[in-house]
Amino acid sequence: MARDSLTRYLDCIAACNACVVACQHCAASCLQEPDVKAMARCIALDMDCAQVCATAVALMAGSSELVGEMCKFCALACNACASECGRHPMDHCQQCAEACRRCAQACDRLAA
């Protein structure tokens, strides 16, 4: 793989990896909340978002021709997760929402 092709993805890869970590931490933390049922949508979106971000990283690392479309979808998943996490006052949810917003912005820039 040419170094130049990977270099253009580095910021987005970093944002996606940070989002994976934040989403996994948020899901695990939500499972420890007193009212887990109230966190069900947050947990589900955390898991979905982490999976989508990890897939986006894999496609960027391989310089796939599908990167643009994957990044559009990744931004969609990140925005949905950010919206849900942002509704909850817990630190882990707020941190996840911020990581998701940063990732969505990075993916939008790459997809444009």
Query: Helix %, strand %, coil % for the chain, to 5?
Result: 85, 0, 15
pLDDT digit string (tens) for 13-43? Answer: 999 999 999 999 999 999 999 999 999 999 9
CATH number at residue 11: 1.20.1270.360
pLDDT digit string (tens) for 43-69? Answer: 999 999 999 999 999 999 999 999 999
Give the number of domains in the chain: 1
Record the tokens describing residue 1, joined without a space: 């793989």
Report whether pLDDT(1) > 50: no
Question: What is the rounded CA–CA span in Å between residue 106 and residue 36?
Answer: 31
Domain encompassing residue 96: 3-111
Of residues 67 and 112, the one with the higher pLDDT is 67
The whole-number pLDDT of residue 2 equals 47
Q: Is residue 78 within 8 Å of residue 110, measured between CB atoms?
A: no
The whole-number pLDDT of residue 4 equals 59
